[in-house]
Amino acid sequence: MDKDFAFIIHPISLQDMYRKFPVLQKVPKSMLNGLIKNLPAIKVSEINGVESGYNKTSGYFVGCTLTSEQMVNLPEKFVLKKIIQSGKLAQKLGAKIVGLGAMTSVVGDAGITVAKNLSIPVTTGNSYTVASALEGTQKAATIMGHDFENAEITIIGATGSIGGLVSRSLATKAKNINLVARNEERLHNLAEKIYFETKNSVRISDDFKKTLRKSDILISVSGSVDHLIEPDDLKPGAIVCDVARPRDVSKQVQEKRDDVLVIEGGVIEVPGDVNFNFNFGFPQKTAYACMAETMILSLEKKYENFTLGRDLSIEQLDEISSLAAKHGFKLAGFRSFERALTEKEILKIKDNATLNSLNLEKCAVRV
């Protein structure tokens, strides 16, 4: 039976493959790497029960058999071919639109080449990812007691498609914005664009670690395969919204810093009695925002390319936010390191931050 949409997923690391297929534990990593990159695209599961007050839809998860590391390190042409093959499987299954998940939305030109090679529309889901990350970060800042407008806010990976839109949107809401990315020329271009749009003079960081240590709020969307943020990089009370997959925040931050709040961007409650028939680590009836964007467009029967490329628009951000509200998609609370986080736990982090800040001040006086 044809479904309305498909969403392309892939293993984040080889550990995902070992977890899903325990029999592979006996296969050496080098051999498994070679094996999976030569596997064809696969239908992972059917998605049923997505229903709003206006429409209902169903779809598929389609698997692109490359890990994040392979997507970064293998030749781009090879990786794009694998993603396109996954999109063609979605076409064959009858999908009317396909969404690109995780690194499949980052490789190359962020979906444009993929869309040119398919006969169904494509979206990366990045517009709704940005919308939900901004909403979640602002809510977290309120609970942690930060004055969002005057807080020191840093965007890591600012020149990427998600980072750019996050930066431009935040510049309309906050005064103290720091942009961090590897390419200095692109950083300057983004800063100029933001000033032209908002008259807000954002700062470009030339000292990554120093900028992290002074930030109250960080939104991290780097697209790096390695952890960028370690325990000593953050000050007490800092909030990190880690949108990146693989994550930018080291697991050690959770283990060593009880005074820092790390949240995952874009965890969305999906309307209806939805069943993904696949465990990707989220509670039932919740999904990543990028997945949700594909479902929203399908519910709206908006079968056209939506979020593509690296120059995302504020207009699309506003449109997808409006459509999400119309169909009943909403933030599903907070998650941190793949588990739900209660408001009580966040308030405990806030108390720890206050205590540790006082201790730091006493140490400073002794010196």
Peptide bond just before 11 cis, omega within 30 deg: no
pLDDT tens digits along 283-337? 889 999 999 999 999 999 999 999 998 888 999 999 999 999 999 999 988 888 8
Q: Report the pLDDT value the prediction gives residue 363, as an integer from 0 to 100.
A: 64
Domain ranges of the chain: 5-127+267-332, 128-265+335-365
Q: Report the pLDDT value the prediction gives residue 339, as an integer from 0 to 100.
A: 82
β-pairing verdict for 261-264 and 239-242: parallel
Assigned CATH for 128-265+335-365 = 3.40.50.720
Q: Report the pLDDT value the prediction gives residue 334, as an integer from 0 to 100.
A: 87
Closest CA to 98 of 114, 82, 110: 114
| Residue that the structure tokens 């058999």 belong to | 65
Q: Report the pLDDT value the prediction gives residue 186, as an integer from 0 to 100.
A: 92
**Separation of first and last alpha carbons in the chain:** 72
Element (H, E) at 153: strand 152-156
Helix extents (H) in the chain? 14-20, 29-36, 68-73, 76-92, 112-116, 126-144, 161-170, 184-198, 208-214, 251-256, 289-299, 314-327, 343-366
Q: Report the pLDDT value the prediction gives residue 117, as an integer from 0 to 100.
A: 96
For residues 127 and 317, is the Cβ–Cβ distance under 8 A?
Answer: yes
Q: What is the mean pLDDT of each run of 10 residues along the chain (367 residues)?
A: 86 78 76 84 94 96 91 92 96 96 86 95 93 93 94 93 91 94 92 94 88 95 83 95 85 94 88 93 88 97 93 92 97 85 91 84 60
> Which residues on adjacent β-strands are paired with residue 23?
none
Sorted by sequence, the CB contacts under 8 Å of residue 45 that are 6+ apart come out as 60, 61, 276, 277, 278
Sorted by sequence, the CB contacts under 8 Å of residue 126 that are 6+ apart come out as 105, 110, 161, 162, 165, 290, 293, 307, 312
Rounded CA separation 156/307 (Å): 21
Q: Report the pLDDT value the prediction gives residue 205, as an integer from 0 to 100.
A: 81
Rounded CA separation 131/18 (Å): 33
61: its two tokens? 């998860």
Say what percent of the chain tops pLDDT 90: 67
